[in-house]
Structure 1
Amino acid sequence: MLKFQDKIALITGSGTGIGLAIAKKFVENGASVIILGRREGPLKDASAQLEQRIPQGSGAKITIFSGVDVADETAINNMFDSLKNDNITVDYIINNAGVSGPVTCFANAPLDEFKSTIGIHLTGTFWGSVQALKVMKEGGKIITISTFFTEERPLEQRPYRFRSPYTASQGAKNRLAEAMSWELTDKGIISIATNPGPVHSDRIYKTVYPKAASEFMRVSGFEDLTPIEVEEAKDDLLECIQADGIDTEGIAKTAEKLANGKDVTKLTETFTRLLEQIQKLAGKIQNNTSHMIANQEFLSQSQVAESVLNLCDDEIAKIINGKVIPGDRVFYPVKSYIGNVTPGVHQPDFGGKAIVFTVDATDKADADRVEFLAGHVEKNGGKVACFISESTPKELQEQISSKFHAHVVDIKNPDEVEKWLNTAKTNIGDILAVIHVTGKLPEMSKLTELDRASWEALTEKFISTPATVAQRTLEQFVPGGSKDPRLFKDAKGKIMII
């Protein structure tokens, strides 16, 4: 009997790429698979490939749910309700669906795209896992695929440059997988996360690396092109990269479209050199990454799939339940963070400087913390303004407002945040720092028992709102810096998120 015969695996984002590779491995090992995604075409193609791999006599079946976006609450609910109504038990949930998200500096990442990336990676994983409990039983396994750029290790730093919403949501997915392992023990369901390293895929070669390279070009500008001009051209130019070279006609059309009074011929030549530089830099990024791996080889999609199936093994899963399994093999050597000299302690002098607190307090301890910190600033000569969220309880709003200059504002709204930061600068002077206090985690029994609205309130409180405040603060410190990163040179300011 095949290892996964008579088992059922549901894989999100399984029409192409790693998701399809995982589905193939399950089918080859006798399992029935449920594949889903937003586009019907790739799912039908995937189903045809999977049908050809079904071992004779295994009884394996392929089920398709098309038009299912993992971020869509209704679509996910309907899919699992349908499975439940058909008395189908799912043995393995593989949270694989994902998107690249905006590949740009944090200051330049559109907030709607930031939130959309969080919605697909993090909320999609959460809600899909919670709804899956309707059709799972003891012994079931939830495997969450994350990224190698989310883990902190001794002597390493792992920021995924230009991928802030992607990295934020993936790091949160790891913590979610750990939390679910604790919360689902009474149901006998196991939760594990795995972080594949760089994987051979069209998306990374054709999308991620070229976009990252074009963002490097945007940051500094290219020849006589400003960052804004590079930004306007880069998406069209990336479309001109072909398997057999560069689409020169496409470059010329881009130059004609964006000339705005410039010499089209010269602009075409500049755009051609820009695209050649983007290609060269994309290759360098790939090469540098590969040299941080012992054998300098990226993983194949099949190897990732093999890893996932190993995590679904009953005995292995019991041993590593709740763990985040690194599969990346990538090492980023950096200087140690550990100092050998104790830093000196001195009384700060905030004389003439303004410090803004944006406060999303949950309970009195949060308000007390703000009161202590703001009092410390004033005691040392600084000026304080507190912008308190509308969701902060009234008594806490009053506690803070009674002691400091304060306003209750909609800190979820970027325009409101920008307006009040400008007001603070006008009324109390240049802003030295903005300190955002998220507040404590609200009281709850289990994450996996939250309804969708409560979950989204958490992601708003701990991810989207801090991102909104931080992004608008950057604009306050460096007006226009999101569009022209050169302006950040020699700029000063501090952002703290507590």
Structure 2
Amino acid sequence: MLKFQNKVVLVTGSGTGIGQTVAKLFAENGASIVILGRRKEPLEETKKILEEIITRVKSGAKVWLFSGVDVSDESGVSEMFDSLKNSNVNVDVVVNNAGVSGPVTCFSNAPLEEFKSTVAIHLTGTFWTSTQALKVMKPGAKIVTISTFFTEERPFEQRPYRFRSPYTASQGAKNRLAELMSWELTDRGIVSIATNPGPVHSDRIYKTVYPKAAAEFLRTSGFEDLSPAEVDVANREIVGLLGEDEKTVKEGIMKAATSVAKIKSGDVEKISQTLGRLLSKIQEIAEKVQKNTSFMIADRQFLSQMQVAQTVMTLADDDIAKILNGKVIPGDRVFYPVKPQIATAAPVVQPNFASQVFVFAVDATDKSDVDRVLFLAQHVESNGAKAVCLVSGAMPKDQQEAISSKFHSHIVNLKNPDEIQRWLGAAKGIGKIAAVIHITGKVPENIKIVDTSRASWDALVDKFINTPATVLQSAFEMFVPGGRKDPRLYKDAFGTTVIIGPDMPTGAKISGADRARVEVFRGALRPFTTTVNQELSDVLKSKVRSFLVLPGGVDGKESDNKKIAHAINYFVTEQARSSSEVTFCVDETRE
């Protein structure tokens, strides 16, 4: 009898790549397979391959195909699991594999809708697939989530992944979600594990990620006589030409040159020659990135898709799964040294905020968040600054009034970048803005994520990931007007942004589940912040910075707002802009 005979394995994003390879390996070992994805044609090809395997190994297994299912789509995923339940199909293993590259560009240039879409597919897709799968899972079932090594923290380090801010945010949260589910599903006897494979041989990384990253390097600086905007227009059409035959490349470059000529005066033939050199440079940089990555690996080899599939199947083993429940398995093999990114208390600096403005974007959860805002606003004003509070319209009226009665305030929709930018512009009329500080509020207590409705989950993702991203991007555009279209304007520009929260839970007896629930969202903000800062410092050569303060600690004590105030004193200094430390756990101590 084959190892997974009479078992059912569901693999998301199974039409191509790693997902298809995982499905094939489980079929080789006797499993029936549920395949799903957005595109019908590759899924039908996968189904054909799986049925050939099933016939060859004589397992008697089945294949269920669900096309047009985007894992981020609430109804599509729910209906798929309802269909399986109505057919009396029990799923033994769920493999969360579906993903997209997302925008491969500096965060300051990333369209917010694409940012949110990437988070929705990677993070919300994992959440909704996993929780809806509970309808058809029994004790002993496993959830195996495939994530990335770029989001894992080492002592004092957080690996950044420039040009991939929504990817790192969602993947970091996904790792922590896998850990949380292990706590919350214990009483159901279901195991949750994540695995972080390193670089994997795939068309996505060779044809999309590396070339687009190379193209982004060239967009930020311009190329020869092309402005960043002109390079951007060209890149959209020429990056996909890599690897094509000479005739296709020539025709594609001429088409791109015609597009560039519409915004740039000049001869199309001459522009096409420039674009030919641009494409060659993109290929050169992409190959260099790949080579540099390989030098971080002992044997200089990327993993094969089959090796990832073998890892997943090993984690689905009954005995191994019980041992590793709740773990994120580091399979990356990559030695990726970075400068220190994470600190505890900030250096003590004497504040002098005369004639400056501090803008607080407030999305409080409870009274203690409001008290924090009042304390910090009073702190900056007592040191000569003016505090302006942009208060979320989603907050209760009494909390809004507690802030607006004491400080210059406006009720704002913090999900709307145009509205934020309008009020930031108004704040500039009061004086020079030293910092934009976003208070996320706390993660609600006494909730169980696996039992959370989709609407409640989406609200959490908005509050702790999408809204901070919206506030930061709006602040960047305020500090560097026009910087999105011309990133050269970022060079030597000044500005400070700060995200504060969410807090670790407080109390004498804090469970592992309580901490893990908050870590889902802290796990998004750590790699997001360090990624954004690497882009600002190393790529854009800017002195604009974004800092992250994560209040509270594992001891359950209340956070000390004085320590946060000391950190703000430091964040607006030249010393802070010159340091690689951007995430501050102000209430923690580390030896």
* Length-normalised TM-score, structure 2: 0.82
Residue of structure 2 in register with 1:57 after alignment? 58
Whole-angstrom CA distance in 2 between matches of 1:372 and 1:234: 48
Deviation at 1:430, TM superposition (A): 1.3
Residue of structure 2 in register with 1:374 after alignment? 377
* Matched letter for residue 16 of structure 1: T
Task: Output one character per residue of 1:271-299: Cα deviation in whole Å (capped at 9) or x when no partner.
Answer: 00000000000000000011101100000
**CA RMSD of the aligned region, Å?**
1.4
Deviation at 1:94, TM superposition (A): 0.4
Report the 3-state secondary structure (helix = DSSP H, G, I; strand = E; otherwise coil) of the residue aligned with 2:406. coil
Deviation at 1:443, TM superposition (A): 3.0
* Matched letter for residue 27 of structure 1: A
Whole-angstrom CA distance in 1 between matches of 2:147 and 2:454: 22
Give matches, 1:95-134, under 5 Å: 95-134=96-135
Report the 3-state secondary structure (helix = DSSP H, G, I; strand = E; otherwise coil) of the residue aligned with 1:262. coil
Whole-angstrom CA distance in 1 between matches of 2:92 and 2:409: 53
Q: 1:343 to 1:21 in 2, by over 3 A?
A: closer
Report the 3-state secondary structure (helix = DSSP H, G, I; strand = E; otherwise coil) of the residue aligned with 1:239. helix
Deviation at 1:394, TM superposition (A): 1.2
Q: Does 1:466 align with 2:468?
A: yes
Task: Output one character per residue of 1:71-114: Cα deviation in whole Å (capped at 9) or x when no partner.
Answer: 11111111000000111100000000000000100010001111
Q: Verify the 8 A CA contact 2:157 2:342 in the aligned structure 1.
A: no
Whole-angstrom CA distance in 1 between matches of 2:89 and 2:480: 56
Whole-angstrom CA distance in 2 between matches of 1:369 and 1:253: 56
Identical-residue share of aligned pairs (%): 65
Whole-angstrom CA distance in 1 between matches of 2:135 and 2:88: 10
Q: Does 1:440 align with 2:417?
A: no
Whole-angstrom CA distance in 2 between matches of 1:42 and 1:420: 48
Q: Verify the 8 A CA contact 1:90 1:140 in the aligned structure 2.
A: yes
Residue of structure 2 in register with 1:230 after alignment? 231
Whole-angstrom CA distance in 1 between matches of 2:482 and 2:497: 18
Whole-angstrom CA distance in 2 between matches of 1:119 and 1:175: 16
Whole-angstrom CA distance in 2 between matches of 1:165 and 1:336: 22
Q: Does 1:398 align with 2:398?
A: no
- Greater RCO (CA < 8 Å, at least 6 residues apart): 2
* Matched letter for residue 483 of structure 1: K
Deviation at 1:155, TM superposition (A): 6.1
Task: Output one character per residue of 1:239-295: Cα deviation in whole Å (capped at 9) or x when no partner.
Answer: 322344571122112112321331112111110000000000000000001110110
Task: Output one character per residue of 1:287-320: Cα deviation in whole Å (capped at 9) or x when no partner.
Answer: 0011101100000000000000000011111111
Residue of structure 2 in register with 1:304 after alignment? 308
Deviation at 1:58, TM superposition (A): 1.4
Whole-angstrom CA distance in 2 between matches of 1:391 and 1:17: 42
Deviation at 1:347, TM superposition (A): 2.3
* Matched letter for residue 201 of structure 1: S
* Matched letter for residue 345 of structure 1: V
Q: 1:343 to 1:130 in 2, by over 3 A?
A: closer
Residue of structure 2 in register with 1:46 after alignment? 46
Q: Does 1:421 align with 2:395?
A: no
Whole-angstrom CA distance in 1 between matches of 2:423 and 2:342: 38
Q: State the number of aligned residues.
A: 495
Whole-angstrom CA distance in 2 between matches of 1:72 and 1:24: 25
Give unmatched runs, 5+ long, in structure 2. 501-591
Report the 3-state secondary structure (helix = DSSP H, G, I; strand = E; otherwise coil) of the residue aligned with 1:473. helix
Q: Does 1:25 align with 2:28?
A: no
Whole-angstrom CA distance in 1 between matches of 2:389 and 2:415: 15
* Matched letter for residue 166 of structure 2: P
Task: Output one character per residue of 1:203-252: Cα deviation in whole Å (capped at 9) or x when no partner.
Answer: 11011110000000001111111101001110111132234457112211
Q: 1:73 to 1:288 in 2, by over 3 A?
A: same
Deviation at 1:336, TM superposition (A): 4.6
Q: 1:375 to 1:278 in 2, by over 3 A?
A: same
Task: Output one character per residue of 1:399-431: Cα deviation in whole Å (capped at 9) or x when no partner.
Answer: 1111111111111111100100001111x2111
* Matched letter for residue 162 of structure 2: R
* Matched letter for residue 442 of structure 1: P
Whole-angstrom CA distance in 2 between matches of 1:337 and 1:129: 32
Residue of structure 1 in register with 2:548 after alignment? none
Q: Verify the 8 A CA contact 2:159 2:338 in the aligned structure 1.
A: no
Q: 1:415 to 1:266 in 2, by over 3 A?
A: same
Residue of structure 2 in register with 1:315 after alignment? 319
* Matched letter for residue 321 of structure 2: A
Q: Does 1:351 align with 2:350?
A: no
Q: Does 1:411 align with 2:378?
A: no
* Matched letter for residue 140 of structure 2: G
Q: Verify the 8 A CA contact 2:30 2:57 in the aligned structure 1.
A: no
Structure 1 window deviating more from structure 2 (29-38 vs 438-447): it is 438-447
Whole-angstrom CA distance in 2 between matches of 1:379 and 1:360: 23
* Length-normalised TM-score, structure 1: 0.97
Q: Verify the 8 A CA contact 1:387 1:409 in the aligned structure 2.
A: yes
Residue of structure 1 in register with 2:67 after alignment? 66
Q: 1:29 to 1:430 in 2, by over 3 A?
A: same
* Matched letter for residue 105 of structure 1: C
Report the 3-state secondary structure (helix = DSSP H, G, I; strand = E; otherwise coil) of the residue aligned with 1:229. helix
Q: Verify the 8 A CA contact 1:151 1:158 in the aligned structure 2.
A: yes
Give unmatched runs, 5+ long, in structure 1. none
Q: Verify the 8 A CA contact 1:102 1:113 in the aligned structure 2.
A: yes
Report the 3-state secondary structure (helix = DSSP H, G, I; strand = E; otherwise coil) of the residue aligned with 1:34. strand
Could you tell me which of 279, 285, 288 is aligned with 1:281? 285
Whole-angstrom CA distance in 2 between matches of 1:3 and 1:223: 59
Deviation at 1:344, TM superposition (A): 5.6
Q: 1:484 to 1:392 in 2, by over 3 A?
A: same
Whole-angstrom CA distance in 2 between matches of 1:337 and 1:75: 40
Residue of structure 2 in register with 1:252 after alignment? 254
Structure 1 window deviating more from structure 2 (437-446 vs 284-293): it is 437-446
Residue of structure 2 in register with 1:363 after alignment? 366
Deviation at 1:121, TM superposition (A): 0.7
Q: 1:430 to 1:20 in 2, by over 3 A?
A: same
